[in-house]
Structure 1
Amino acid sequence: MFIIRWILGRIILLLNFIFTPKKLKRETQEQVKVDAQTQNMQLYQYQACPFCVKVRREIRRQGLNINTVDAKQAEHKEVLENQGGKIKVPCLRIEENNKVVWLYESSAIIEHLNTRFA
């Protein structure tokens, strides 16, 4: 099973590389505002997870600079479990007004990004 998942993961990454979406071009001032809003966001993800790839593609499509965190690393996995409540990816951590929100599910994350930035 591990080998099948590994092969499928590499196929997903290859197709993502080949068909990378174009980045949204904004005016400089507008991009600076968007970058300031995304500064306190982190995407906890696995590199070859198809749902994580889906979210990363949307982040690129919208031209957002959201920090990605590898949830396979022990310290990040621990933060995800202790602060987020569960080890599940993709997970978008949003910190605003001294309040932290953890969004799970790729469709919920994409909907949030579309509502806020599109």
Structure 2
Amino acid sequence: MQLDLYMFETCPYCQKVMREIQAEGRTDIVFHDIHKEEEDRQTLIHVGGKEQVPCLFIDGVPMYESDDIVAWLKSHQKVL
């Protein structure tokens, strides 16, 4: 499963998701900071249809809203 999180560091909703990722000790998520990489920002807009973060792409399908992302992460623990 490919997991890509589009975010930026100072976004409080992104911080909420990143805290959950850190608490779970997940290493299977690729981070894309849209304020540091223009290509990542463009990908988010092109694929997701809008420039809203956080956005977790799960096998290329976007999921928005920090509460939804956190709930998904909790219900899909990384398999070691």
More helix by share: 1
Write the distance in 2 (CA, Å) between the matches of 1:113 and 1:76. 22
Write the distance in 2 (CA, Å) between the matches of 1:114 and 1:48. 23
Q: Percent identity?
A: 38
Of 33, 40, 55 in structure 2, the residue corresponding to residue 70 of structure 1 is 33
Of 57, 61, 66 in structure 1, the residue corresponding to residue 23 of structure 2 is 61
* C-alpha RMSD of matched pairs (Å): 1.3
More strand by share: 2
Structure 2 unpaired stretches of 5+? none
Higher relative contact order (CA 8 A, sep 6+): 2
How many residues matched?
A: 76
Give TM-score scaled by structure 2 length. 0.88
Matched, 1:84 2:48: yes
Secondary structure of the residue aligned to 1:117 is coil
Deviations along 1:65-107, one digit per CA (max 9) or x if unpaired, are 1111111221111100110111000000111xxxx21011100
Counterpart of 2:72?
112
Moved over 6 A (4+): none
Give TM-score scaled by structure 1 length. 0.61
